[in-house]
A and B are shown apart, each in its own frame.
Chain A
Amino acid sequence: MDGVHDLGGRQGFGAVRYRRNAAPFHADWEVRANSLYVLAVRLGLINMDEYRHAIERMEPRHYLGAGYYERSLTGLATLCVEKGIVGRDELERRAGGLFPLALASAPGRTNAATRDAFKRGDRVRVKDDHVPGHVRMPGYIRGKTGVVVGESPAYPFPDAHAHGIQAEDELTYDVRFRSEDLWPNSSDKALIHVAVFQSYLARAL
């Protein structure tokens, strides 16, 4: 989905609020929120793609206003309610107030009907796909051409795995793009590498 989470290349954000070697946690609840989602993954209640998609489905104003661990907790709670593990009423009763959850999911999809195998040096084009459900193709590479520089083992196909749809695991390729091809005349010169699933790619001529 073309959601607000898809931030790569968005303009208007200010300076990174950087502190050298900053701590990952600032409060006890942040550590516990992180531990609870990891626990749910370990117990097999949720998978990583469902979890990421549940966060992406947060109402945009909530997503943008929440910190990282609130997004994490909201994603976990949404999946627990959707899977019938716990009711929203119970969560709100226990919390003593409203418990905002993410919005409903659009349908997912299975692998592309035909998938090419590529090797290092191959030129590839990212398909012009517009996917309403979960997808791990950042919008800034849609329709763009790059070069394969690496191959990774097969992973569950996220567009299916986030939705409980059967699919084959897929290889992913590290694809190198030139920043000037992604944002012509509007970027710092750099080589941008993105890990791209096979289903998202076509051979470039």
Chain B
Amino acid sequence: MEDQERTIRRTASIEQRVDAIQAAFDERGMNATEGVAELTRLATEQWVPQNGARVVARAWVDGAFRERLLTNGRAAVEELGLAMPKHHRHLVVLENTASVHNVICCTLCSCTAFTIIGLPPDWYKDFEYRSRVVREARTVLREMGLDLSPDVEIRVWDTTADTRYMVLPMRPSGTDGWPEEKLAAIVTRDSMIGVARL
């Protein structure tokens, strides 16, 4: 009888399931509603690609900072007041050049340095990108609008541990003498994932 009842009951909507967890946490004194409000503010206002854009712009104008960033990313971004979660113990910054192009992914789930480059978009977490970018990098990048010359070496980085990666894109020509803020404004999240060049 119970089994029969289960089979005719419908799956709750996803909104109802989220509400159920939140209410269960609240009832157990975990202040979920307040916690969610605070974390929602972080997710939508603080963990944004403008953080990484500041890092990139600083690296473009300050050679000593660029060296520190490439040596120890986590310590370098802290200089700009940017934090990473405790479990992201290491940030590896991958520098694009005329002959080397880096692109990051997470084939097993969807890990990113989200406090620095922003939370990932759907396509980064979808099965198409996760399955194909390691095996067909050049084809996938071309399909996404980045047609790299055949002599550019492609380096893919799969985020399978708690080391985090970000791409340091090349500074576009025609930006000589630009102030740091103006440079930061042209740096996109997609260029720090490595599916776009600037």
Contact = CB atoms under 8 A, between A and B. Distances in A.
Is B truly associated with A? yes
A193 to B, nearest CB: 5
A89 to B, nearest CB: 11
Interface stretch (A90-98, A108-116, A117-125): A90-98
Contact of A99 (B12, B39, B145, B188): B12
B52 interface: no
Nearest to B49: A21
Given A6-B107, A97-B16, A188-B136, A73 B44 contact: no
B75 interface: no
B127 A64 contact: yes
A interface residue count range (under 10 / 10 to 19 / 20 to 34 / 35 or more): 35 or more
B19 to A, nearest CB: 7
Nearest to A85: B28
Contact of B108 (A14, A20, A52, A174): A52
B17 A95 contact: yes
Nearest to B104: A193
A35 B135 contact: no
Contact of A73 (B21, B125, B130, B189): B21
Contacts of B155: 190-191, 193
Interface string B4-26: 00100111111111111111110
Contacts of B123: 16-19, 22
B84 interface: no
Interface string A3-29: 001111111011111111111111001
27 contacts: A20-B145, A22-B122, A24-B121, A32-B18, A32-B22, A32-B40, A36-B18, A36-B21, A36-B22, A55-B109, A73-B17, A85-B28, A92-B12, A94-B23, A94-B24, A95-B13, A95-B19, A95-B20, A96-B12, A96-B16, A136-B161, A150-B92, A152-B90, A174-B163, A189-B138, A190-B154, A192-B156
Given A7-B130, A98-B12, 16 more contacts: A6-B107, A8-B130, A16-B126, A17-B128, A21-B121, A25-B44, A34-B39, A55-B109, A56-B108, A68-B110, A97-B13, A190-B134, A192-B156, A193-B156, A193-B157, A193-B158
B160 interface: yes
B30 interface: yes
Interface in B63-120: 87, 89-90, 92, 107-110, 118-120
Contacts of A186: 135
A92 to B, nearest CB: 7
